Amino acid sequence: SNVGFRDTYNLKTKTPIDKIEKSKIILLNKDSIAIPFEYSYNEFEQKIAFDFKKEENQKYQIELLPGAITDFYNTQNDSLLFTFSTRSLSDYGNLNVITKNINRFPYIIEIITDKGEVIARE
């Protein structure tokens, strides 16, 4: 799968997570070089978000070693491996927005799909 430069890589869990051991999570690029990352866990959506500096045309893998995740039932994961990549910067576009007559600050600009899903927000 692909991940955008402004996006985080997300793992959704079926059961609520009780504990995450960052020392048992490894993020590698295609040259097997460890990449520093941060993570956050959204309890409501049961989603782990991995945030890190992405490079274009790069392949990544996240390895969860045994015991990296402990769920609500005290069950721990076995070895897990997830792979994903980024595209070339030329695959993306630029959007310049000129705003006029805005009297109240701060303001928020969102790019949404035809279904109302937020793609970008500044």
Residue 71 CB neighbours (<10 A): 16
Q: How many domains does the chain have?
A: 1
In a domain, 44, yes or no: yes
In a domain, 25, yes or no: yes
In a domain, 109, yes or no: no
Q: How far apart, in whole angstroms, are the C-alpha atoms of residue 41 and residue 54?
A: 20
* Higher per-residue confidence, 106 vs 53: 53
In a domain, 100, yes or no: no
Q: How far apart, in whole angstroms, are the C-alpha atoms of residue 8 and residue 62?
A: 13
CA end-to-end span of the chain: 25
CATH of the domain at 51: 2.60.40.1220
Residue 119: per-residue pLDDT: 81
In a domain, 37, yes or no: yes
Helix or strand or coil: residue 49? strand
Q: How far apart, in whole angstroms, are the C-alpha atoms of residue 119 and residue 122?
A: 11
- The amino acid occupying position 101 is N
Q: What is the pTM of this model?
A: 0.76
In a domain, 76, yes or no: yes
Helix or strand or coil: residue 25? strand
In a domain, 61, yes or no: yes
In a domain, 113, yes or no: no
Helix or strand or coil: residue 83? strand
Which domain covers residue 42, as residue numbers?
A: 2-91
Of the listed ranges 18-22, 32-36, 109-113, the least confidently predicted one is: 109-113
